[in-house]
């Protein structure tokens, strides 16, 4: 039987693909540069092809190297799940759980989430990671996160998805904005005053999906890096925005008497979801966490 690549060799290649720098990849792998280089050279010998092109200035993957990295990430994630499965069988509902959450959900559920996890999963050490949807989906696929909370529609690429709650987006405007105050539907709004989050936030995409404006026309529109900043911009009467229902019962809205929240006809909606890998060994944790999230996001 021919020798097979080792998980260690594959992990060296994946790390190098992320850094494109041998010294940094070796540092992250806790080995010497010669050990990492040797491991990758042996991997190339076993696979019978060049995976990495090297010169004095640059390191880059070959087309074969890119394909091997994609498959290696799946194998490494499955190997991590296999190790976790063994512990889960002997000590269920214990240990570390890495949960990713997008920024347009995280601030509104974290306090209750941490409290409920402490009560219902007392032997679980919850580690929270906040990032935009594409980033946390990628980290979940690579095995760096155990589960993620995001908003659909979004491409979950064959991962396991469970619905938490559906919610509408609401118009939030300044009380001195006469057009927005009178509007009952999106087509009655002056969409040149619609303010959005920066590119990369799925809430931006959910809003644009229902508003008849193009990205090119929207290039010079005011954009915010976070929901609190977006609310401050509306508070300054720079325009209006659409916010998810989960954000409406917070002090950033309630404490500002100049803001008006209105339901709007044909407004977009989104679905909050808990997502994990289909190979996860943490099915019990997934089920409990789903129940907790459904409880804390349940509409009054």
Which residue segments constitute the domains of the chain, with CATH numbers given?
7-78 (1.10.10.10), 93-164+272-298 (3.40.190.10), 166-270 (3.40.190.10)
pLDDT digits (tens, 9 = 90+) for 203-215: 888 888 777 665 4
pLDDT of residue 199: 84
Q: What's the mean pLDDT when you consider all of the chain?
A: 89
Q: Are strands 95-101 and 124-130 parallel, antiparallel or unpaired?
A: parallel
Higher pLDDT, 203 or 174: 174
- Taking a C-beta distance cutoff of 8 angstroms, is the pair 166, 150 a contact? no
pLDDT of residue 216: 43
Q: Which of 88-102, 243-257, 262-276 has the highest mean pLDDT?
A: 262-276
pLDDT bucket at 201, cuts 50 / 70 / 90: confident
pLDDT bucket at 300, cuts 50 / 70 / 90: very low
Output the pTM of the full model: 0.80
Share of the chain above pLDDT 90, in %: 62
The answer, yes or no, to whether residue 94 has pLDDT greater than 90, is: no
pLDDT digits (tens, 9 = 90+) for 151-164: 999 999 889 999 99
List Cβ neighbours of 219 (8 Å cut-off, separation of 6 or more): none
Q: How far apart are CA 229 and CA 221, in angstroms?
A: 15
Average pLDDT over residues 234-254: 90
Q: What is the DSSP string of 111-143?
A: HHHHHHHHHH-TTEEEEEEE--HHHHHHHHHTT
Nearest in space to 263 (alpha carbons), one of 173, 153, 195: 173
The answer, yes or no, to whether residue 218 has pLDDT greater than 70, is: no
Average pLDDT over residues 37-59: 91
Nearest in space to 167 (alpha carbons), one of 274, 224, 243: 243
- Taking a C-beta distance cutoff of 8 angstroms, is the pair 178, 166 a contact? no
- Taking a C-beta distance cutoff of 8 angstroms, is the pair 43, 13 a contact? yes
The answer, yes or no, to whether residue 86 has pLDDT greater than 90, is: no
Average pLDDT over residues 182-198: 89
The answer, yes or no, to whether residue 65 has pLDDT greater than 80, is: yes
pLDDT digits (tens, 9 = 90+) for 252-288: 888 889 999 999 888 888 999 999 999 899 999 999 9
pLDDT of residue 217: 47
């Amino acid at each position: 039987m021919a020798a097979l690549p080792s998980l260690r060799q594959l992990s060296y290649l994946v790390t190098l693909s992320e850094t494109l720098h041998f010294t940094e990849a070796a540092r992250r792998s806790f080995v010497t540069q010669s050990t990492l280089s040797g491991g990758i050279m042996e991997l190339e010998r076993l696979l019978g092809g060049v995976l990495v092109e090297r010169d004095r200035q640059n390191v880059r993957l070959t087309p074969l190297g890119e394909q091997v990295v994609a498959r290696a990430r799946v194998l490494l994630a499955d190997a991590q799940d296999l190790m976790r499965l063994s512990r889960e069988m002997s000590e269920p509902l214990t240990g570390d759980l890495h949960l990713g959450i997008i920024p347009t959900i995280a601030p509104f559920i974290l306090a209750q989430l941490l409290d409920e996890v402490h009560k219902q999963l007392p032997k679980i050490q919850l580690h929270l990671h906040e990032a935009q949807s594409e980033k946390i989906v990628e980290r979940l696929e690579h095995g760096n996160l155990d589960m993620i909370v995001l908003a659909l529609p979004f491409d979950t690429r064959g991962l396991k998805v469970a619905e938490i709650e559906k919610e509408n987006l609401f118009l939030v405007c300044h009380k001195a904005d006469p057009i927005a105050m009178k509007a009952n539907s999106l087509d009655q709004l002056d969409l040149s005053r619609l303010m959005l989050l920066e590119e990369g936030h799925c809430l931006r995409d959910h809003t644009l999906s229902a508003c008849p404006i193009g990205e090119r026309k929207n290039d010079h529109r005011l954009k915010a890096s976070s929901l609190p900043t977006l609310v401050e911009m509306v508070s300054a009467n720079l325009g209006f925005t659409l916010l998810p229902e989960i954000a409406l019962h917070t002090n950033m809205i309630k404490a500002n008497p100049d803001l008006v929240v209105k339901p709007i006809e044909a407004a977009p909606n989104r679905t909050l979801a808990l997502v994990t890998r289909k190979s996860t060994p943490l099915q019990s944790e997934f089920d409990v966490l789903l129940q907790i999230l459904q409880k804390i996001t349940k509409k009054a």
